């Protein structure tokens, strides 16, 4: 069984593909469809609260004809944040949870959870602390609320959850840890909260499989023109699983996106396990 997660940075840009970057994004979306994973989780859809346009819906229907589709939109800022999940298996229940996060974070469409007979499969787009860490206090409150939410799911049945967590956990998870020590995504506070999440009973699948592997990243800054060429990236996209599920995990990989900077999709494979 394969599962894929990706921060797409705008569904509309991918579907319209009127720019070179949009064309690259659309090509990646087509590649993901061709792989036919059991579940696809998408973050940062940037859709309006009115939902998909006719063209967007038609394109997704054509690319993913056999999938059930679920969307969570931002009710606050328009065309901001948002998540989507596609599943070949119809869930027994779908929720778009509000977790008691501060400010408008609960209104930004950041979480979708699919419940299957034996497992919860969830996706998250974690808020960024901001370029000057203006949102760091709220981000820490989010991390606490999110951890409590995932723990409650785990008490019912095991959880597979993925997304853009907006944190590089350890120095090995980004190219320049010293220079970025006080940057959003690598503050001591954010890293500590991620450690607390793992300590609550969950496994970072990539790092468990490859404890000492360096130079594997999932995001390269668009503003730095040479970031992808120099592999000057960050690993901030994760597949986490309840500890008791890790024995079924056989592979984690980052899907190659060529010259396209920003996030790359990540793939998780499990063997002899039914959702």
Q: Which domains does the chain have, with CATH numbers?
A: 2-270 (3.60.10.10)
Active-site annotation, residues = 125, 164, 263
Q: Is 190 annotated as a binding residue?
A: no
Q: Is the dihedral of CA 31, 60, 41, 118 positive or negative?
A: negative
pLDDT score of 235 more than 90: yes
Residue 221 phi/psi, 5° resolution? -60, 130
pLDDT at 97 over 90: yes
Instruction: Answer yes or no: is 128 a known binding residue.
Output: no
Query: What would the pLDDT profile of 218-234 be if each residue is shown by its tens digit?
Result: 999 988 889 999 999 99
Joined tokens for residue 20 = 């070179």
* Helix (H) or strand (E) run with residue 270 in it: strand 266-270
Tell me the pTM. 0.97
Residue 184 token pair: 């959003």
The predicted pLDDT at position 188 comes to 97
75 is in an annotated binding site: no
Q: Residue 94: its pLDDT value, please?
A: 98
Residue 263 labelled as part of a binding site: yes
């Amino acid at each position: 069984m394969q599962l894929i997660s990706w921060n797409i940075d705008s569904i509309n840009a991918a579907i319209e593909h009127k720019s070179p970057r949009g064309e690259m994004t659309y090509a990646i979306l087509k590649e993901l469809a061709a792989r036919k994973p059991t579940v696809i989780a998408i973050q940062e859809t940037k859709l309006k609260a009115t939902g998909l346009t006719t063209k967007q819906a038609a394109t997704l229907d054509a690319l993913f004809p056999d999938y059930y589709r679920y969307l969570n939109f931002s009710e606050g800022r328009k065309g901001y944040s948002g998540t989507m999940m596609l599943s070949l298996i119809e869930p027994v229940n779908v929720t778009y949870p509000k977790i008691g996060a501060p400010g408008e974070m609960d209104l930004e469409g950041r979480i979708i959870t699919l419940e299957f007979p034996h497992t919860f499969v969830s996706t998250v787009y974690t808020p960024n602390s901001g370029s000057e860490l203006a949102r760091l206090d709220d981000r820490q409150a989010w991390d606490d609320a999110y951890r409590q939410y995932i723990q409650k799911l785990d008490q019912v049945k095991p959880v597979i959850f993925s997304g853009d967590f907006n944190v590089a956990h350890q120095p090995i998870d980004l190219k320049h840890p010293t220079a970025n020590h006080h940057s959003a995504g690598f503050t001591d506070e954010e890293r500590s909260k991620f450690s607390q999440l793992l300590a609550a009973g969950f496994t970072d699948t990539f790092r468990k499989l490859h404890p000492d592997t360096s130079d594997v990243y999932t995001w390269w800054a668009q503003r730095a023109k040479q970031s992808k060429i120099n592999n000057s990236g960050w690993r901030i996209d994760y597949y986490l699983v309840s500890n008791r599920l890790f024995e079924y995990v056989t592979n984690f990989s980052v899907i190659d996106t060529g010259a396209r900077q920003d996030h790359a999709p990540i793939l998780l494979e499990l063997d002899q396990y039914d959702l």
